[in-house]
Amino acid sequence: MKIIMLGAPGAGKGTQAKKIAEKYGIPHISTGDIFRANIKNGTELGKKAKTYMDQGALVPDELVVDLVVDRVGQEDAKNGYVLDGFPRTIPQAEALDKALAAINDKVDYAINVEVPDENIINRMSGRRACVDCGGTYHIKYNPTKVEGVCDACGGKLILRDDDKPETVKNRLSVYHEQTQPLIDYYSKQGILKEVDGTVDMEEVFNAITAILG
């Protein structure tokens, strides 16, 4: 069961990817985690990625695809995996398909968690992060016991810059421009499945498991 999660930033696809991984006993693979693991372990691919990241440059598509294919080829992914945050663009999706085909593999499902922009802006502007332990909360959906204070460590909560409405709008416009076309791409392949991401988290998960069986 090889799954790609699609959805705008803040649509909750990361949360759902973790739940899928847990239920089906397959790894949840995010590109950020792959980068960190390879850099930490000092692999050849990790060293290459680090040179770009140290310059604040984007890691080239070919290198990202190499890292992802290397990761999905590992023992724990033999029964499947959930890819979260990749691919982000059509060239990445094409490169991934090509690389997987070379090892006689392919993606089974692309699941799009559909949430309107205005919901995402409201949702993200309600998020709060602890400055000390990094714990995340939401003033409406997951509030702390004491307003502005982290339940876990008592640290101060802040609205992160990347959760501010103007930043979220920018991130959404980049998403619509670059990543939205993936929905058509996977739709043409016949593997796209859409779920309503505006409902309760458990309902979203139930809709996904109904698709996956």
Catalytic residue among 2, 71, 123, 127: 127
137 in any annotated domain: no
Residue 71 bears catalytic tag:
no
pLDDT for residue 100: 92
Domain of residue 100, residue span: 2-117+166-212
68 in any annotated domain: yes
Pairing type for strands 28-30 and 109-114 reads: unpaired
**Long-range contacts (CB closer than 8 Å, 24 or more residues apart) made by 141-147:** none
30 in any annotated domain: yes
Catalytic residue among 18, 48, 50, 88: 88
Catalytic residue among 18, 160, 164, 193: 160
Q: Which of 109, 79, 104, 100 is nearest to 208 (CA)?
A: 109
145 in any annotated domain: no
Residue 160 bears catalytic tag:
yes
pLDDT for residue 178: 85
134 in any annotated domain: no
Q: What is the CATH number of the domain that holds 38?
A: 3.40.50.300
39 in any annotated domain: yes
pLDDT tens for the chain, 213 residues long, are: 999 999 998 899 988 999 999 999 999 998 888 988 999 999 999 999 999 888 888 888 899 999 999 999 999 999 999 999 899 899 999 999 999 999 888 999 999 999 999 999 988 899 999 999 988 899 988 899 999 999 999 999 999 988 899 999 998 998 898 888 999 999 999 999 999 999 999 999 999 999 998
| pLDDT tens digits for range 124-145 | 899 999 999 988 899 988 899 9
Residue 88 bears catalytic tag:
yes
Taking a C-beta distance cutoff of 8 angstroms, is the pair 157, 144 a contact? yes
| pLDDT tens digits for range 86-99 | 998 999 999 999 99
Catalytic residue among 18, 48, 50, 171: 171
Give me the numbers of helices (H) and strands (E) for the chain, helices first please: 9, 8
pLDDT for residue 46: 92
Structure-token pair, residue 60 = 């080239």
pLDDT for residue 209: 97
192 in any annotated domain: yes
CA 11 to each of CA 23, 52, 117, 130, 178: distance values in angstroms, whole numbers, following the listed order: 20, 28, 9, 21, 16
pLDDT for residue 183: 95
Angle at CA 31, nearest 5°, toward 171 and 100?
A: 115
Catalytic residue among 13, 71, 123, 128: 13
pLDDT for residue 174: 86
Please give the DSSP secondary-structure letter assigned to residue 5: E
Indicate the number of domains in the chain: 1
Residues ≥6 apart with Cβ < 8 Å to 151: 135, 137, 144, 145
141 in any annotated domain: no
